[in-house]
Chains A and B, each alone.
Chain A
Amino acid sequence: MAFYFISVVLLGFIAVYALMAVWAERKVSAWIQDRVGPVLTGKYGLLQTFADIFKMLQKEDITPTVADKKLFLTAPILVFTAVFMGFATIPFSPQYISSSINIGLFYLLAIVSIEVLGILMAGWASNNKYALLGSIRSIAQIISYEIPAALAILSVVMLYQTLNLQEMCIQQGVLSKQSLYFFGFWDVTKIGGIFAWTIFQAPHLLIAFVIYFIASLAECNRTPFDIPEAESELVAGFHVEYTGFKFGALFLAEYAMMFLVSMIAAILFLGGWNTPLPNIASVALADYTTGTYWGIVWILLKALALVLMQIWIRWTFPRYRMDQLMTLCWKVLIPLSFVMVLFSGIWKLFILN
């Protein structure tokens, strides 16, 4: 049952979320740049993106004459399907998960590579220099940044000894059957809340979280890693030839990807559907606020907060150059994430035993 519920509700949620995220993006950018942003359409300009999407859907659906028509049509579908497939193993609460499989996290890492192929397809099929350059840049970037992301994830997996995302969530709160320690010295199994989250279970996991967050920015082509769609260099990158509904699908996939990586970050590092409120003596806040509906609320709040952080970062930092981007990945993040994996092994063997 959860499968049908999640698949239908999630699709609607992602569509509304993407529209609101675009609105938030415009508002946040306006505030950062000391403007007011959209104000005329609806209260606080809330209906602005709805109006925009209606305008976009009415636009002519142009396929360039020299494009490869079949691939041009398939690419946006493939990109969005790949991202949406990722949500199959995401737990929303202790009961709500589409597929609680043992290889959940491994599956998620594989899904990202399918999205890569979709972007490549879009770039090639457009038969446009800017689109092709954008997609090649995007792939070089995503493939490189998959490594530090995977290693940061691995350092968490070593601690929990499972790839099942639901079991990982359980091990970060009051429902845990193993004992949990805040930074390795304070038993918080009964207290739960924010103290039992992954980032507070071992000191090096805070750094692993930062590594994962940076890598996830690169994986969804967000600033400061938005060289695939650098407006001042490549017009719009791999989706420059797309119009109307196809462009909408690519746009939706981009925002869904932001949400997906934020969900993964929330589950792996920020406690998933666990509450941030701890049990304080007889006031058992953590026990009250752990459950099906609370779980959905907490995980969505955490993921949306991370999305907001991505938006905030976009309007704060300038874009990296290609060589700077690769230097950051191969010379800084990858060695650092290897050290995190090593620390995880040491922590598991010597501190937790």
Chain B
Amino acid sequence: MINLMFYFFALIAICSALYAVSTPLIIRSVFAMFACFFAIAGLLVFAQSDFIAVSHLMIYVGGILVVMVFGIMLSQGSSLSAVVRSNKTISLHQYLVLIVCVSVFLVLSYFFYQYAPNTSIHYEGSDLQLIGIALLTKYLFPFELLSILLLSVFIFTAIITRKKKELN
């Protein structure tokens, strides 16, 4: 049953990823990406990292995807048909991207078959207290560094959005 669910999630992830790159409507590919992220969060639960899975949902779905949808909405016209990509011809750089992707996939699958532990899937759940203690002791410096980075992003976004007034 649990193995079946694993393959189900994997299937959703692959299908939605393929749909996301092949659909001509950009907004649909963003929502297909949502399904893909969701399935990946499910796979992360199987990897016994439920904290990462929920963080993944929160950051990618709650943050990045919503920003992307807003970006598409605000940059394009209101009509749905305005957001259409042309994919009639395949140019050289698309072949290059294909080669890179396939080789990355082959390398990863080679390492997976070579080194992955052959254990059965079971769920335990992560100990949040250990994560918290590790963040505030061993990884305190990167943690603080990241928060300073995010704070500066926050401040500069406010500055960029305010600049228009002065220019006019």
Contacts and interface: CB of A to CB of B under 8 A. Distances in A.
- Chains A and B belong together in one complex: yes
Interface of A: 66, 68, 70-71, 74, 101-103, 106-107, 109-114, 116-117, 120-121, 124, 127, 129, 132, 136, 139, 143, 161-163
Contacts of B65: 117
A103 B50 contact: yes
Nearest to B123: A101
Contacts of A111: 57
Given A68-B25, A139-B66, A143-B66, A103 B54 contact: yes
B17 to A, nearest CB: 17
B84 interface: no
B58 A102 contact: no
A107 B54 contact: yes
Interface residues of B, number: 28
Interface in B36-78: 38, 50-51, 54-55, 57-58, 61-63, 65-66, 69-70, 73, 78
B128 interface: yes
B125 interface: yes
Contact of B66 (A70, A117, A162): A117
Contact of B27 (A116, A124, A136, A161): A124
B58 A109 contact: yes
Contacts of A102: 50, 125-128
A113 B73 contact: no
A110 B50 CA distance: 12
A107 B58 CA distance: 8
A114 B80 CA distance: 22
Given A70-B28, A120-B69, A143-B66, A113 B61 contact: yes
B6 interface: no
Contacts of A68: 25, 27-28, 80
Given A117-B61, A162-B128, 20 more contacts: A66-B80, A74-B31, A102-B128, A103-B51, A103-B54, A106-B54, A106-B58, A110-B57, A110-B58, A110-B62, A112-B62, A113-B57, A113-B63, A114-B38, A117-B31, A117-B65, A124-B27, A124-B73, A132-B78, A161-B129
B34 interface: yes
Contact of B61 (A74, A103, A114): A114
A90 to B, nearest CB: 16
B128 A163 contact: yes
Interface string B113-143: 0000000000001111100000000000000
A103 B126 contact: yes
